[in-house]
Chain A
Amino acid sequence: EDQVTQSPEALRLQEGESSSLNCSYTVSGLRGLFWYRQDPGKGPEFLFTLYSAGEEKEKERLKATLTKKESFLHITAPKPEDSATYLCAVSTGGGNKLTFGTGTQLKVEL
């Protein structure tokens, strides 16, 4: 059974304090690893897709990386508007369905 584990569950940062969120996975045949952001009361919003180990993608203050066992979402010099829950999900050879982790709730304070 595919498993996705995210850590930490919650993270509190000061504005400008860089950090990383972790997503470790155990799957049979990774087709893609996805990062989403979810704000309260809203649906998940797509951030990145990574397909193979060694791949990296960046968007503003966010950078996602992928190894054979885990993915990291690096947040550089975060701002309060980066506060959200960040979800990691995997798509495997069993179909196009996504298996989600339980997320990291990030709060960035002034």
Chain B
Amino acid sequence: DAGVIQSPRHEVTEMGQEVTLRCKPISGHDYLFWYRQTMMRGLELLIYFNNNVPIDDSGMPEDRFSAKMPNASFSTLKIQPSEPRDSAVYFCASHLPGYTEAFFGQGTRLTVV
């Protein structure tokens, strides 16, 4: 398996624009997570899905952020409108059922100017 695949790897956008980040989890993994990493706050969980259903979105910073998982092989994280403080590296991760290790993608580095 190619691992967790995220796209794009880098995104530069202007404040106020809509940004969509994409993730393909490892086949057979039924848990999917979106994390955000910054120097100040480290890795923070934004939302996670189990079997395509959102389970916990308490980490989503505000209504500008939304996430979907239309099927087992694809998820999106959308920011609309984007703001400079959203600049960070966004990671997607997936894992098998149970308290097992999560496998991370390479991340999307988002810069909002």
Q: Which residues of A contact B (CB under 8 A)?
A: 31-32, 34, 36, 41-46, 49, 51, 87, 89, 91, 95-103
Contacts and interface: CB of A to CB of B under 8 A. Distances in A.
Q: Is the interface of A mostly helix, strand, loop or mixed?
A: strand
Contacts of B105: 43
A103 B44 CA distance: 13
Nearest to B97: A96
26 contacts: A32-B99, A34-B101, A34-B102, A42-B107, A43-B4, A43-B91, A43-B104, A44-B91, A46-B102, A46-B103, A51-B99, A89-B43, A91-B99, A95-B48, A95-B56, A96-B55, A96-B95, A96-B99, A97-B33, A97-B45, A97-B48, A98-B102, A99-B45, A100-B42, A100-B43, A100-B44
B21 to A, nearest CB: 13
Contacts of A91: 99
Contacts, number: 52
B42 to A, nearest CB: 4
A91 B104 CA distance: 16
Nearest to A91: B99
A34 B50 CA distance: 20
B45 A98 contact: yes
Contacts of B66: none
Interface of B: 4, 31, 33, 42-45, 48, 50, 55-56, 91, 93, 95, 99-107
Contacts of A87: 43
Given A43-B104, A46-B103, A89-B43, 11 more contacts: A34-B102, A43-B105, A46-B102, A49-B101, A87-B43, A91-B99, A97-B48, A98-B33, A98-B45, A100-B44, A101-B42
Contacts of B91: 43-44
A83 B31 CA distance: 30
Contacts of A101: 42
Given A42-B107, A43-B106, A96 B101 contact: no
Nearest to B102: A98
